[in-house]
Structures are given as structure tokens and as C-alpha cells.
Amino acid sequence: MQTEARSSDLQLGTWLQTGSPIVAELADLSGFDWLLIDLEHGCGTEAAVLSQIQVIRHAAAIVRVGAPHPELIARSLDWGAAGIMVPMVSTAEKAAACVRAMRYPPHGDRGLAGMVRAYDYGLHRDMPKPVFYAQIETIEGVENARAIAAVEGVDVLFIGPMDLKLQLQSYPERARHDFAACLREVASAAREAGKACGLLCRQTDDFSELQALGFTHLAIETDITLLRESYRNVIQPLRGKKA
């Protein structure tokens, strides 16, 4: 099973939202370091997770669950996911609960089954610890970023830009930082704790600036947005419109 090394080097990923194992396999062969199977906003169901993980042979397969449901976290890991992303992690307590769902006793509550795919159906028993991406998407999450980063078992503080921007716009009276300052705050919290920091990006974002802030785990677009723009770039010039 593939696992993602913790490193200060740039780790490039992308979102898989179509639920297609064909797209997952193509993305894997294209050279990404990690691929995010999206169960929160993606089109694929839980039943489509295993087939996608099975074709991801080079990158780290990360599953984003829609909520911190222990049974879904455990099932994804049993299927061979290298890590889990949980959205809306706003407190250290929530982060710690996610870690417990990912780990076996005495450090967690995950049930052990030695015949699952993660252990090559019982042929091997060694498996690296799964990587945990705690997604920071709320004003509260930014305020608690240092406490979240201090939780043992949190590997990556990962900012969800759309929800965070929506929170800042919706509750300006609660916001002490603008979006740029939130990026700096979370990156600083991760750096001080010796943890990695990540962000979902557009192709037009300034990657060098983000790297300078300390962001190492950068996801570039989603399969849907990349397909959308590719289709538009083919069609629009032929219809005499600007792409």
C-alpha cells in the first residue's frame, strides 16, 4: 500500500470527485504525489472508494469523509487508504476524536481485522500509520489552529478556501483576520508544531508565494474542474468565443 512521507518537499495532489476509477488511474499515472477521493462533495458513493484505491498504485490515496464517522474512517483504512481528511475540524477535541477513529488501542478505538486489503488480505501485518489531514475551514478552526496542530496524530493542517472565505464573509464580526492573514496564521501554527500545511488551489494561484509561507501539500483543482476547462478550451475557440 502506498503511504505519504512527511517531508518539507512540495507534495502535489488533486481532488477526485467523479468517483471514476478510470479518472483515478489516469491521475495516478500522471505523477501526483497524493490523490483525494472526495466523499463530502464528490459524485462517487462509498461503494466507489475501493475501486479507486485499487488503481492508485503510485500516489497516496487519501479519503475525505463527509463527517468524522468512525466506521467509515475505519473502512476506508481497511480498504488501503493511506490517510484520511476530515472537514470542519475546528477544535483540538474534534481532531483528537478523528485520530482515535484512525488508530488501534491503546491509542485509539479502531477495530482490528487482519484479513483486510490494508494487510494484503492477511499476507502481511505491517502497515504504516495513516496520515491525518485536519481540514481548517472555519473562523474557529483558524483561532484554534495551534491547539489542533499540537494534537499527536494530526499530520497536515489543510485549509479549505471556499468554506473559510464564506465564513469570513458571513460572520465579519467574528473574524480577526482576513483570508490572507488566516493563511499565515495556519501556516505558522503548523510550522511551530512541526506539522505540514496544505491548501486546495487553482492553477492560477501563486504557488511560489504559498510555498514561501510554508504550504507544502498543495492540491491543484479537481478532476471535474480540469475536465470542465479542457472541454471549454476545445469548444469555445471553435465557436469564435474566448476561452
Confidence grade of residue 125 (pLDDT, cut at 50, 70, 90): confident
Backbone φ and ψ for 150, nearest 5 degrees, come out as -75, -10
| Average pLDDT over every residue of 116-122 | 94
d(CA 199, CA 241): 32
pLDDT tens, residue by residue, 66-107: 999 999 999 999 999 999 999 999 999 999 999 999 999 999
pLDDT, the chain, mean: 94
Q: Note the pLDDT of residue 242.
A: 61
Report cis status (omega within 30 of 0) of the bond before 21: no
| Average pLDDT over every residue of 50-76 | 97
pLDDT tens, residue by residue, 128-149: 799 999 999 999 999 999 999 9
- Cα(first)–Cα(last) distance of the chain, in Å? 40
pLDDT tens, residue by residue, 207-243: 999 999 999 999 999 999 999 999 999 999 999 866 5
63 vs 242, higher pLDDT: 63
Q: String of b and e for 85-108 (b: at least 16 CB within 10 Å)?
A: bbbbbbbbebbbbbbbbbbeeeeb
Give residue 221's region: left, alpha or beta (phi > 0; psi -120 to 50): left
| Helix (H) / strand (E) containing 199 | strand 196-201
Please state which CATH number belongs to domain 11-238.
3.20.20.60
Give residue 134's region: left, alpha or beta (phi > 0; psi -120 to 50): beta
Q: Which residues are catalytic?
A: 41
Domain ranges of the chain: 11-238
Q: Note the pLDDT of residue 3.
A: 41
The answer for residues whose C-beta is within 8 angstroms of residue 202's C-beta and 6 or more apart is 220, 221
pLDDT tens, residue by residue, 6-43: 445 899 999 999 999 999 999 999 999 999 999 999 99
Q: Which residue has the cell 472555519?
A: 138
Prediction pTM value: 0.93
As beta bridge partners, residue 63 has 37, 84
Helices and strands (H, E) in the chain, number of each type: 10, 8
Q: Note the pLDDT of residue 6.
A: 40
d(CA 227, CA 208): 25
Lowest-confidence segment of 3-12, 48-57, 165-174, 188-197 by average pLDDT: 3-12
